[in-house]
Structure 1
């Protein structure tokens, strides 16, 4: 049954991941869009903590954890985002629902494999700017698209305490941005930019897990070297006629713009934690990203630069009694965490920062070892100072983790 579910959801995800708009942020205009969280609901509910190996839960942030799996695992997750956008003089609200990831992993002794598909970045915004003057220009900006990644990884248990892993990703996608200029004249102007993106990247990880008296101690490190991304760019300028929001093209020209060779920044993450794995765990993680070497798809974008990004996460979980027969809620996993991030984006002279707090539940499904995970995140990004935008957001995310034993040779026919 689980195999039929996997096939059906995989086909659905493959179609939906290309078409969805995963962001409603004006900050997604820059670079290749908003960076999406590249982990599971379980990790995200703990402030994004990605250091934990588990026998039945996939950890997509560190490929070394694939070696810890004891059962074939399938997971799919999605989220609903609600954001309030505010400047010093205006405000607005947006909502988005997206599919976040689909992955399958399976153990083969000391070696574990995993593969899947997830969004890497998202672009999605609509901004209107109206002139204070009667005959002044009015502008409208919009964008959609983003970058997706398909990955294949493996983890190997070197010793009883050390596991090593690596995954390789092919990144692909399309970004379309549009700006409209209209005045109290017969015709308006439209500029449309399109970028087709593709390239490869990799991620390597190491996990150290041991016992210190009666406690479990885990430390983790991952490193992603700088990746390359090819951006094939097109630009079209059109003269428009029409009213009521319609765009009737009178004349359109192709403008020659150079293709771009972008660099996906190198990233180093390391963390540690301790606890009793079947009862409680708490940990912290630091992520450093060399975003200062990143650039825009077009060279004529001004007033923006990049600096090295930093993220700090702390989180954990609590299970009252994981094998309780009398109380369902004692078998539930309760998760929580905090996150602070300097995103690396600098608009004008202002660094864009992101703060968030998370919580979540891991709900056992029936009497099986599969589970339904739900989480909530509340946070803030940006500021209203210097003419910028402050985003206050709430995210609800849900995932299904199905676990089964595959590749077992039958003793009886």
Structure 2
């Protein structure tokens, strides 16, 4: 029964991820949208660490080598609710968005290997900006869409304590941007529309090593590398005038096709951690990626914005008072916390110079055991800030509420008759 339920939910939520709009950030205006960092709710609650973390009944999206530790068939689904406050100068606005963040299935293969497959957002676009600084001219900027990623990941133990892994993914999606301009002294509107599809493969390699120290302490290290790849971008742009009364197109000014590539450079993540199994863990990650590149206007025109190198530092961990406690449920709960500091690599043109957009987040979370199961319900909370009001830019204050289910069951076992 549980297997049919999991497979049914997998199909349903896959359709939901493909159809959703999961961003309300003005910064999703740039490039192919707001980047989605592939982490579980459990990992996000610890600041996004996990490249060195091993776990037998939780999936790990950062490092494919962790599949080698799977001992249960694991189904994971995660979603989030974001409350956003946008500040520009002395003005502010609020908004929110709800989204499914991932759906994945993982299986052990023997005692030294594992495999997982799933669907995740890759980027998201969702903005609506009104520029009314000039009294005679109103301009509305709108965008929606984004890209998704289907992946398959495999990990195995190559030597005692040393595991390696590989992940292959296919990125696909559509981005739509539009600019609607109205001059108060003119009876017609002018509209510019841009729409393009994103396609391409992506590959990731991972390695982990764990060594047991004295007093049952375990030291783990890990690294993952998302290889350089080019995503194709094909679409069209057009400009036309339309009637303000019924929206009827009056004159098509131009309509042309666009084609280019988006270069995703090598992304490297390194990390280490120290802890005791089912008791506590503390770890740190460092992530680095060269600047995104493109031979088309899909990513950057070099005038309004451009991309530089990006980096991120994450520190966090968990604590379980007593995992097998009978007298107290709260002693079996996993308590998580973490913090992250990020240079996004996005540089936005202000008056004369480019200003880099930075991001910062503080995270806490709970892993709530489900009755009679090793499965659990995970809650995560994050307060963060992105951008700045300096140099006429936009500052975002956001609060994320995250929720996930990690369901575990033994599949592919032979039934025994007593």
Distance in 2 separating the partners of 1:205 and 1:80: 30
Q: Give me the TM-score of the superposition, normalised by structure 1.
A: 0.96
Once the two structures are superposed, the pairs formed by residues 246-257 of structure 1 within 5 Å of their partners are 247-257=247-257
Distance in 1 separating the partners of 2:231 and 2:28: 17
Tell me what 1:313 maps to: 314
Deviation string for 1:312-340 (max 9, x for gaps)? 00000000000111110000000000000
Runs of 4+ in 1 over 4 A off after TM superposition: 298-301
Alignment pair present for 1:227 and 2:229: yes
The answer to which of 82-91 and 386-395 deviates more is 82-91
Distance in 1 separating the partners of 2:20 and 2:302: 26
> CA offset at residue 303 of structure 1?
2.0
Distance in 2 separating the partners of 1:390 and 1:284: 27
Q: Which runs of 5+ in 2 are unaligned?
A: none
**CA contact under 8 A between 1:154 and 1:165: conserved in structure 2?**
yes
Tell me what 2:66 maps to: 65
Distance in 2 separating the partners of 1:93 and 1:158: 51
Cα distance change, pair 382–329 in 1 and its aligned pair in 2 (3 A): same
Distance in 2 separating the partners of 1:174 and 1:137: 30
- Secondary structure of the residue that 2:22 maps to in structure 1? coil
Cα distance change, pair 70–368 in 1 and its aligned pair in 2 (3 A): same
**CA contact under 8 A between 1:294 and 1:306: conserved in structure 2?**
no
Cα distance change, pair 355–294 in 1 and its aligned pair in 2 (3 A): farther
Cα distance change, pair 299–34 in 1 and its aligned pair in 2 (3 A): closer
- Secondary structure of the residue that 2:362 maps to in structure 1? strand
Figure out how many residues of one structure are paired with residues of the other and give that number: 409
Deviation string for 1:83-104 (max 9, x for gaps)? 1001014211110000000000
**CA contact under 8 A between 1:233 and 1:260: conserved in structure 2?**
no
Tell me what 2:258 maps to: 258
**CA contact under 8 A between 1:265 and 1:294: conserved in structure 2?**
no
The answer to which of 161-170 and 14-23 deviates more is 14-23
Distance in 2 separating the partners of 1:347 and 1:131: 19
Alignment pair present for 1:119 and 2:124: no
**CA contact under 8 A between 2:47 and 2:340: conserved in structure 1?**
yes
> CA offset at residue 223 of structure 1?
0.5
Once the two structures are superposed, the pairs formed by residues 49-64 of structure 1 within 5 Å of their partners are 49-51=49-51, 52-64=53-65
> CA offset at residue 14 of structure 1?
2.1
Deviation string for 1:341-365 (max 9, x for gaps)? 0000001210100000000000001
Deviation string for 1:358-386 (max 9, x for gaps)? 00000001021000001001000001111
Once the two structures are superposed, the pairs formed by residues 148-159 of structure 1 within 5 Å of their partners are 148-159=148-159
> CA offset at residue 195 of structure 1?
0.7
Cα distance change, pair 301–257 in 1 and its aligned pair in 2 (3 A): farther
Alignment pair present for 1:372 and 2:374: no
> CA offset at residue 300 of structure 1?
4.6
Tell me what 2:85 maps to: 84
Cα distance change, pair 197–303 in 1 and its aligned pair in 2 (3 A): same
Distance in 2 separating the partners of 1:58 and 1:141: 39
> CA offset at residue 265 of structure 1?
2.4
- Secondary structure of the residue that 2:326 maps to in structure 1? coil
Once the two structures are superposed, the pairs formed by residues 10-409 of structure 1 within 5 Å of their partners are 10-51=10-51, 52-109=53-110, 110-133=112-135, 136-184=136-184, 185-214=186-215, 215-243=217-245, 247-293=247-293, 296-297=297-298, 300=301, 302-348=303-349, 349-409=354-414
Deviation string for 1:21-45 (max 9, x for gaps)? 1111111111111111201000000
Q: Give me the TM-score of the superposition, normalised by structure 2.
A: 0.95
Q: Which runs of 5+ in 1 are unaligned?
A: none
- Secondary structure of the residue that 2:374 maps to in structure 1? coil
**CA contact under 8 A between 1:87 and 1:384: conserved in structure 2?**
yes
